[in-house]
Structure 1
Amino acid sequence: MKKFLLIILFFGIYFSFVSCSNDNDTGTELALQAETFLNVSYGNNPQEKYDLYLPANRSEEKTKIIVLVHGGGWTGGDKADMDFLIPYIKLRHPNHAIVNINYVLADANTPAFPNQFLDLDAVINKLTDEKDELHILPQFGLIGASAGAHISLMYDYAYDLDDQVKMVGDIVGPTDFTDPFYIENPGFQALMDALVDESAYPPGTNYAEVLSPALQVSNVSSPTLLFYGNADPLVPLSNATTLNSALNSAQIDHTLNVYEGGHGDWSNVDIEKMKVQISTYIDNYLVVIN
Structure 2
Amino acid sequence: MKKLLVLILLFGIHINFISCSKDSDTTTTDSLAEKTILNVSYGNNPQQKYDLYLPANRSSTKTKIIMLVHGGGWTGGDKADMDFFISYIKQRHPDHAIVNVNYVLADLETPAFPNQFLDVDAIINKLTSEKNELQILPEFAMIGASAGAHISLMYDYVYDTDDQVKIVGDIVGPTDFTDPFYSENPNFSLLMTALVDEGAYPQGTNYAEILSPAMRVSNASSPTLLFYGNADPLVPLTNGNTLNVALNNSLIDHNFTVYEGGHGDWGQNDIENMKEQISIAIDTYLEIMN
TM, length-normalised to structure 2? 0.89
- 4+ long deviations beyond 6 Å: none
2:55, 2:120 → 1: CA distance? Answer: 22
Q: How does 1:56-95 map to 2 (within 5 A)?
A: 56-95=56-95
* 1:37 partner amino acid: I
1:193, 1:32 → 2: CA distance? Answer: 47
1:40, 1:281 → 2: CA distance? Answer: 28
2:195, 2:101 → 1: CA distance? Answer: 20
| CA deviation profile, 1:202-225 (whole Å, cap 9, x unmatched) | 000000000000000000100000
Q: What secondary structure is seen at the aligned counterpart in 2 of 1:192? A: helix
1:146 aligns with 2:113: no
2:238, 2:84 → 1: CA distance? Answer: 28
* 2:146 partner amino acid: S
2:41, 2:156 → 1: CA distance? Answer: 23
1:181, 1:36 → 2: CA distance? Answer: 42
2:260, 2:188 → 1: CA distance? Answer: 27
1:244, 1:279 → 2: CA distance? Answer: 20
1:278, 1:258 → 2: CA distance? Answer: 14
Equivalent residue, structure 2, for 1:262: 262
Equivalent residue, structure 2, for 1:176: 176
Equivalent residue, structure 1, for 2:281: 281
Q: Indicate the structure whose relative CO is greater, using CA pairs within 8 Å and at least 6 residues apart.
A: 2
* Deviation of 1:31 (Å): 7.8
**What runs of 5+ residues in structure 1 fail to find an aligned partner?**
1-29
Q: How does 1:116-155 map to 2 (within 5 A)?
A: 116-155=116-155
The percent of aligned pairs where both chains have the same amino acid is 77
* 1:194 partner amino acid: A
1:32, 1:99 → 2: CA distance? Answer: 17
**What runs of 5+ residues in structure 2 fail to find an aligned partner?**
1-29
Q: How does 1:136-215 map to 2 (within 5 A)?
A: 136-215=136-215
Equivalent residue, structure 2, for 1:109: 109
1:234, 1:67 → 2: CA distance? Answer: 24
Larger radius of gyration: 1
Q: What secondary structure is seen at the aligned counterpart in 1 of 2:258? A: strand
1:187, 1:279 → 2: CA distance? Answer: 39
| CA deviation profile, 1:216-254 (whole Å, cap 9, x unmatched) | 000010000000000000000000000000000000000
TM, length-normalised to structure 1? 0.89
* 2:269 partner amino acid: V
* Deviation of 1:32 (Å): 1.0
Q: What secondary structure is seen at the aligned counterpart in 2 of 1:39? A: strand
Equivalent residue, structure 1, for 2:246: 246
Q: Which has the higher helix share?
A: 1
